[in-house]
Structures are given as structure tokens and as C-alpha cells.
Structure 1
Amino acid sequence: MTHPPHTTPAPSGTVPPTTTPDALDAIRTRLEADLDGAARAWLHQALQEAAGDDGTDRPIPVWELRLAEAGRRVGSHHADAARVLILHAARAGTDALTRVYHHGTADERRAVLHALPHLVTGPDALPLVEDALRTNDTRLLAAAVGPYAARHLPAHAWRHAVLKCLFTGVPVDTVAGLEHRAAEDAELARMLADYAAERTAAGRSVPEGLHRVLALATATPPHGTDPVPGTDRAHGTDPVPGTDRAHGTRPHGKEA
């Protein structure tokens, strides 16, 4: 396994933005460093099973069962990262990701959203992002506005996703590619100004982060920046939270 260049360590439950093809190796290295012996052994077995499972002769692939038990085996703090690794080892395509998303728990749905930049190169998985954006589960919303959405979500839907983050309390820092996609977006600026005016007229506070996004929408994008800073189109990653940045979730689908 190729080890990434030395950087300041991040919590093992998060996947930092990276420009290298070794993103998943970095996730695995960091995760294994924080797991105890039993959890690490389970992870190795789960990844081996996923890599060798062709899905034949059984109604449910073994790797899908491992997704379901990840929280119990490695702990909730590390489960998202473990599930992303399992999905990648299984080479899950859009059909498999869609099945897991619609039949899985909210935790499994979130892992699918985090895995999209690693597994789907085109816009075929956008229905999953769009479904997550219709929920009020803030952890799903935060996962839905990652690099995959930054690259593939149409402008109108992306603007509404930003607004939904604002009024549900999802930090705007969670929105991948915000600085690039919001830049010089007059329609987004109009929507934000209207929303702020409505809140003010009703005697309600303007959400934290709105003025920052509004400032971006009236600014020129940084020269030569990628739509998702710190990523490339083949290997872009988004944070896989180990500790919630957005609190106050409401379940969407069955919980583990």
C-alpha cells in the first residue's frame, strides 16, 4: 500500500480533501491507526470479502451485510470511513449504490453519498443526492453537498441546496466547491438577499453563513481554481464525519 506524504494528522473518522490517487489508502491508514486489534481484523476481513465477492449464489452480497454491522464492529465514530472503504473494495456501481441507499439505514445512506466521488464518474447517481436534499436530516444534507454534487448538480438545484443548508443549520463550510460555484452567481445572490429580507421582516435572525455566501456570490472566483478545491475529477473526496459538524438530525429511513 502506498503511503501518502506526511501531513498533519486528521481524525480517523474524516476523509480530508486530496489531489492524489492515494486518497483511499490514506483513509485506510488513518482508520487502521485508531482501531483496536479486533476492529482492525474485522476491517481487513470485510475488505477482503468485498473485493472477492461477485454477488453470485446469494440474495445479499456479503459486503452489504458488513456495511450493516460496521457501526457495531468499529464504532460509530469510524463507521462512515469503514463503509466507504467497503463500498470501494466491492467496486459498487450505481445500481448497487442505489440499492444500498434505498434499503439501508440513514448511516448507510450517508456512507453511499460520501463514496460517490470515489465510485461514480458521471451524473448517474444524482437521484441519490437529490433524495438526500429533500430530507431534513442534517447529516445526510451535509454528505449530499460534497464534491459529487459540486461537480454534477445543476445550478438551480445547487443554489437551493445551499439555501437548505442555511435554513437547516448545516455549516456552509460543508458545501464542497462553494467558493468556486457561488462566485459571480447573480441568481444565488438574489435568492440569498430575498431570503435574508424575509427573515428580517419577520423579526427572525439571518442564518450564520448567509452573508459569507452572499459575499462570494458577488465576487470573482480565484484564478485557476478547481470547482472543488483540493480535489481532482477522478479522486475527489469529501469529509466523512467522525464527529458531527451539523447537529440536530432527524432520521430519514431506518436507523441502525
Structure 2
Amino acid sequence: MSARGPGTTADELAAALPQSAAGWLAQAQAAVRADPGAVDALFAVAARRCGRAVLRVGPAAGPAWSADDAVRALLLVALPPRGADPAVVAERLYRTGDTAERRAVLRSLPLLDAAGDLGDRGLALVEDAVRSNDPRLIAAALGPYGGRRLAAPAFRQAVLKCVFVGIPLAAVAGLDERADAELGRMMADFADERRAAGRQVPPDVLHHLHTHPAPTEATA
């Protein structure tokens, strides 16, 4: 599994939107720049106004961008540097939103990080999503932001969570770069437990163990 790159940019998302969605977004962004408080209502109606069409943008691996995901992420990017703290707004929208809105917030994190100094302030949302059992949220959380910033123990557990809930490991940003001996041991232990129970080892796990072999006692 190859690692995903730094992620899709805001300009790429905007260019991929259908014309009708792009027109609505331009007006909504202008409203947010004039009044950051307008973002809450606009965020909530984005899917109804722009649809959920799958966009032809970004890497093949990982979850596809939908129009509502992209519009919501671009609304957050449009927040003015003065008058609104993107990290605070993102957390509020995540905590009060439905699953689609939470997913969009998670997908916006690398864009917000690229636009300013988000730092680690989005990690609490990533960690909350990984604790869920919703594959949509977990996959979104392990994009370029979460894949890069999660601490090593949390990253390893998140990778195993993907295996348990059936998320392709190709969706985990930075997996090849961050795979270490401990993750290899965890994967090998999981594979051994599956075999002992007479169950099939997921192909993703076998591929990971082939490309990142678990250390033996002689090499540990």
C-alpha cells in the first residue's frame, strides 16, 4: 500500500465542483468572510444546496470527496483570520453536527492546517472519530492531518481499528512512512489470532506484513 500524499488542496476542490455548487459556494464564502457567524447555518444547508455528487479530485486511495464535503471544508477555509478561530469553529461544528457534517470537518483539517497554524488543535476531533465505529468518520480522521499528527501509539491503534471495521489500509495517510516494528508485531499477532481461530486473514494485513515484515526474535 502506498502512502497518500499531502492531500487535496482547496483550489483543487473548488475547481472540481459542479457549476451550480461553485456559484452557491462563492456567495456563501463571501457571507462567511463578512460575518464568520454565518458559517453555522451555511454549513448545515450545504448538502441540500450543493448535492452529494462524487467529485473527480484527489488520490484514488482513500474516501472520495463529495460535493457537500468539499463545500463544507471550503466554508471553513474561508473563515477570516481575524474574527474567528478556525479550530474553535471546527470543533463546534463537529460536536453539533450529524455524521456527514462531522466527516466534512475531519476532511477540512488538512486544509485548515495548510491555510494557517492549526497545529495539534484538531487532534481531539481525530481521536474522537477513531473511537467511533463509523467507518466514514474513521477514514476521514486518518487523512493527511490525522495520519501525520497522531502520536505513535494512537496511530497504531487506529490502523488496527481500520482492520477490524473493514477500512482499506490505503485510506490511512502516511502508513508506509509511519509503519514501525511495533505495528508489525501487532499486525502479526492479529494474523496469528485469526489463523488460530480458523478465520481468513484480511488481504490488507497480509500485504502489510509482506511490505513491512514483523521483526523476528533474532532481529527485534
Which amino acid counterpart does residue 68 of structure 1 have in structure 2? A
Shift of 1:18: 5.8
Please give the alpha-carbon distance, in whole angstroms, between the structure 1 residues aligned to 2:172 and 2:5: 13
8 A Cα contact 2:14 2:22, kept in partner: no
Shift of 1:148: 0.8
Shift of 1:150: 1.9
Please give the alpha-carbon distance, in whole angstroms, between the structure 1 residues aligned to 2:5 and 2:33: 25
Shift of 1:50: 1.4
Whether 1:47 and 2:29 are equivalent positions in the alignment is yes
Shift of 1:145: 0.5
Please give the alpha-carbon distance, in whole angstroms, between the structure 2 residues aligned to 1:17 and 1:24: 15
What TM-score, normalized to structure 1? 0.69
Whether 1:134 and 2:110 are equivalent positions in the alignment is no
Which amino acid counterpart does residue 167 of structure 1 have in structure 2? F
Q: What is the correspondence of 1:67-82 to structure 2 with a 5 Å cutoff? A: 67-77=43-53, 78-82=67-71
- 1:216 to 1:154, Cα distance in 2 relative to 1, 3 A: farther
Please give the alpha-carbon distance, in whole angstroms, between the structure 1 residues aligned to 2:178 and 2:5: 17
Please give the alpha-carbon distance, in whole angstroms, between the structure 2 residues aligned to 1:202 and 1:118: 43
Whether 1:143 and 2:140 are equivalent positions in the alignment is yes
Shift of 1:17: 4.8
Please give the alpha-carbon distance, in whole angstroms, between the structure 2 residues aligned to 1:40 and 1:152: 31
SS of residue matched to 1:48: helix
- 1:35 to 1:177, Cα distance in 2 relative to 1, 3 A: same
Question: Which is richer in helix?
Answer: 2
Aligned residues: 190
8 A Cα contact 1:50 1:89, kept in partner: yes
Where do 5+ consecutive residues of structure 2 fail to align?
54-66, 215-220
Whether 1:190 and 2:185 are equivalent positions in the alignment is yes
1:35 match: 19
Whether 1:66 and 2:63 are equivalent positions in the alignment is no
8 A Cα contact 2:103 2:136, kept in partner: yes
Which amino acid counterpart does residue 50 of structure 1 have in structure 2? V
What TM-score, normalized to structure 2? 0.80
SS of residue matched to 1:192: helix
CA RMSD of superposed structures (Å): 2.0
Please give the alpha-carbon distance, in whole angstroms, between the structure 1 residues aligned to 2:22 and 2:87: 28
8 A Cα contact 2:184 2:209, kept in partner: yes
Aligned identity (percent) is 46
Shift of 1:26: 2.0
Whether 1:117 and 2:117 are equivalent positions in the alignment is no
